[in-house]
A and B are shown apart, each in its own frame.
Chain A
């Protein structure tokens, strides 16, 4: 986290004297930024005002220079304390008062030093290692008795997102959801990012993976070929889905239908509702999707592309699944862990046509990862934002149109 910060306190008759304005101007003029964390303005002329200002700089030297420059104007560094910790009382149980994380970059103060919290994710706890030299976010279920868990709020600070240098749709970091906004420029910005990320991924650079979490509507709506093309061309590097997306993708390959509907004819075919069951049964007989692709039973589509490109697929099961397909993780907690394990290294997340997988994936992503949520139903991006993933850009449109346009912009032949 290339950022240094310190909170200072300013009090007295700082408003009419313009001392507060002067201090804030000094911070900006010297190249720092600030947040006014708490401002109280005196109600009468006699009553003093006070302000708590958090100063941020790109370098420690600059932070020191700014503190030195504003100190004569009465700004005093707020007394900081270490965070408190308590032992987990039992496996899977957090101490009372445990600190619950946000998905924003977070630091804790230990032995007078600020430490970054690794693997940050919303709604987890923070565990500190025995030496007190490192900390990471930890799900409740993974806690072991005796783990040193951060409690209370002192000594914990959350760092707001910095506006990214790219001046594209992700720069606004807001999840306005509307079916009535033009989509073209948003998809163009996503394509530009994906082109960049593919280059970076090929050069082995960090945080260059594109994660796609998708629902079966991708297949029903006709987005299968576009997504398979994106995977084959190296634009997508991780796939999260459920039993259904995989089943209907392979159903399409074996029978030309998706949930019994002929994908080209566009109408229900006789006994078509059995196709996905027969597909699942066939793959179960073969033993795995990988083997089905390797043996040539499954030739085209999303799953075939994933196997050929060797990209990791996490399939999380639900209580309405048929089968399920081999490889579907039916234990939700295990599925969540598998998804969590795949998140590090992600530089862009596309959540397409799935409420369940979109929200589940959104919960696992740090706010620093640019995220797009595409659904015909505006309630999905809204729900995602309501659950705290405010960084997600919402696109109200159907999955096939989105994927086809994205693939076209990335060079897929018409």
Chain B
């Protein structure tokens, strides 16, 4: 992963409520949000050493900052998201425009087949996992699996607080997995355990899961994650990862953190 797509939070704010974290009364401190976002970018560029592609922020689209939901990119192909909530559907055109402008081959899903991009599709090189029920439609994974000739194991998201797969599930470059077990039902937990051996799984404690410990970005041996997750950090360090905690609580007001603010391009 050499490049990440990001979008500066110029127009970021809580302007509607489409997940349990969002409260219109819980106003975003704009200055603080800008500072936190730039600090995150600095970590990516200076400490982790990845290149950043910056989208132009658009007034009236407060969640455009969460580029993980732009779509999913595989090689030169990009699948543009189809958002479940009308509040975010207007972002689709801007994300598509960006992909087209950067010469990606666009794959468009049929109308009504909800799919919220890399927020709900993550995995290891050989196989992926797809989060469904809260936002993405399970049927989208069948279509994507055909396009990319990749196995996609659907996992039902059963806790509304963890509405995207990337809020509770984070595959790491060494084959390890951070996840919050209670966000999945027994079928999902069994499917995960079948694929990832016990020794490679960290079941993140709830106190850190609600700080979005799993909404982490792993690039090689670097893991960028929100602050306040000591157990997770300790586990990562013990496995040879270099951790980069960043204060991102302004973005948690919208139910997003480090991973939500980025989209892997290569």
CB closest chain-B residue, reference A25: B187
Query: B142 contacts A74, CB within 8 Å?
Result: yes
Query: B142 contacts A12, CB within 8 Å?
Result: yes
Report the interface size class on chain B: 20 to 34
Interface residue? B235 (CB, 8 A) = no
Query: A13 contacts B141, CB within 8 Å?
Result: yes
Interface residue? A296 (CB, 8 A) = no
Q: Kindly provide the distance from the CB of A75 to the nearest chain B CB, expressed in whole angstroms.
A: 9
29 of the cross-chain contacts (CB-CB < 8 Å) are A12-B138, A12-B141, A12-B145, A12-B152, A12-B154, A13-B145, A13-B152, A13-B153, A13-B154, A16-B151, A16-B153, A16-B194, A16-B195, A17-B155, A17-B188, A17-B191, A18-B191, A22-B156, A22-B187, A45-B126, A45-B127, A46-B150, A46-B151, A48-B142, A48-B145, A73-B138, A73-B156, A74-B138, A74-B139
**Which residues of A have CB within 8 Å of B102?**
none
Interface residue? B146 (CB, 8 A) = yes
Question: In the bound complex, what is the Cα–Cα distance between A73 and B132 (angstroms)?
Answer: 8
Interface residue? A21 (CB, 8 A) = yes
Question: In the bound complex, what is the Cα–Cα distance between A72 and B156 (angstroms)?
Answer: 9
Contacts A12-B154, A14-B154 supplied; 18 other A-B pairs, CB < 8 Å: A12-B139, A12-B145, A12-B152, A16-B151, A16-B195, A17-B187, A17-B188, A18-B188, A18-B190, A21-B187, A22-B185, A45-B126, A45-B127, A45-B151, A48-B146, A72-B133, A73-B156, A76-B139
Query: B191 contacts A11, CB within 8 Å?
Result: no
Q: Kindly provide the distance from the CB of B192 to the nearest chain A CB, expressed in whole angstroms.
A: 10
**Which residues of A have CB within 8 Å of B150?**
46
**Which residues of A have CB within 8 Å of B149?**
46
Q: Kindly provide the distance from the CB of A22 to the nearest chain B CB, expressed in whole angstroms.
A: 5
CB closest chain-A residue, reference B148: A46
Enumerate A278-297 residues with CB–CB distance to B below 8 Å: none
| Chain A interface (Cβ < 8 Å from any Cβ of B) | 11-14, 16-19, 21-22, 45-46, 48, 72-74, 76
Question: In the bound complex, what is the Cα–Cα distance between A73 and B149 (angstroms)?
Answer: 21
Question: In the bound complex, what is the Cα–Cα distance between A72 and B146 (angstroms)?
Answer: 20
A-B pair count, CB < 8 Å, reads 57
Question: In the bound complex, what is the Cα–Cα distance between A176 and B133 (angstroms)?
Answer: 48
**Which residues of B have CB within 8 Å of A73?**
138, 156
Query: B153 contacts A17, CB within 8 Å?
Result: yes
Question: In the bound complex, what is the Cα–Cα distance between A11 and B144 (angstroms)?
Answer: 13
Q: Kindly provide the distance from the CB of A15 to the nearest chain B CB, expressed in whole angstroms.
A: 10
Query: A11 contacts B154, CB within 8 Å?
Result: no
**Which residues of A have CB within 8 Å of B127?**
45
**Which residues of B have CB within 8 Å of A21?**
187
Q: Kindly provide the distance from the CB of B200 to the nearest chain A CB, expressed in whole angstroms.
A: 17
**Which residues of B have CB within 8 Å of A11?**
142
Question: In the bound complex, what is the Cα–Cα distance between A12 and B153 (angstroms)?
Answer: 8
Question: In the bound complex, what is the Cα–Cα distance between A11 and B141 (angstroms)?
Answer: 10
**Which residues of B have CB within 8 Å of A13?**
141, 145, 151-154
CB closest chain-B residue, reference A44: B151
Those 10 A-B pairs whose CB atoms lie nearest each other, nearest first: A12-B142, A18-B187, A74-B138, A17-B153, A45-B151, A22-B187, A17-B191, A17-B154, A46-B149, A18-B191
Query: A19 contacts B154, CB within 8 Å?
Result: yes
Question: In the bound complex, what is the Cα–Cα distance between A13 and B146 (angstroms)?
Answer: 11
Q: Which of B126, B132, B145, B151 has the most CB of A within 10 A?
A: B151
Q: Kindly provide the distance from the CB of A236 to the nearest chain B CB, expressed in whole angstroms.
A: 55
Q: Kindly provide the distance from the CB of A299 to the nearest chain B CB, expressed in whole angstroms.
A: 74
**Which residues of B have CB within 8 Å of A74?**
138-139, 142, 154
Question: In the bound complex, what is the Cα–Cα distance between A19 and B152 (angstroms)?
Answer: 12
Query: A46 contacts B187, CB within 8 Å?
Result: no
CB closest chain-A residue, reference B149: A46
CB closest chain-B residue, reference A12: B142
Question: In the bound complex, what is the Cα–Cα distance between A46 and B146 (angstroms)?
Answer: 8
Q: Which of A14, A46, A48 has the most CB of B within 10 A?
A: A46
Q: Kindly provide the distance from the CB of A270 to the nearest chain B CB, expressed in whole angstroms.
A: 83
Question: In the bound complex, what is the Cα–Cα distance between A17 and B185 (angstroms)?
Answer: 11
CB closest chain-A residue, reference B127: A45
Question: In the bound complex, what is the Cα–Cα distance between A22 and B145 (angstroms)?
Answer: 20
Question: In the bound complex, what is the Cα–Cα distance between A45 and B153 (angstroms)?
Answer: 10
**Which residues of A have CB within 8 Å of B142?**
11-12, 48, 74
Question: In the bound complex, what is the Cα–Cα distance between A22 and B188 (angstroms)?
Answer: 10
**Which residues of B have CB within 8 Å of A14?**
154
CB closest chain-A residue, reference B144: A12
Question: In the bound complex, what is the Cα–Cα distance between A366 and B149 (angstroms)?
Answer: 49
**Which residues of A have CB within 8 Å of B194?**
16
Question: In the bound complex, what is the Cα–Cα distance between A120 and B152 (angstroms)?
Answer: 46
**Which residues of B have CB within 8 Å of A46?**
145, 149-151
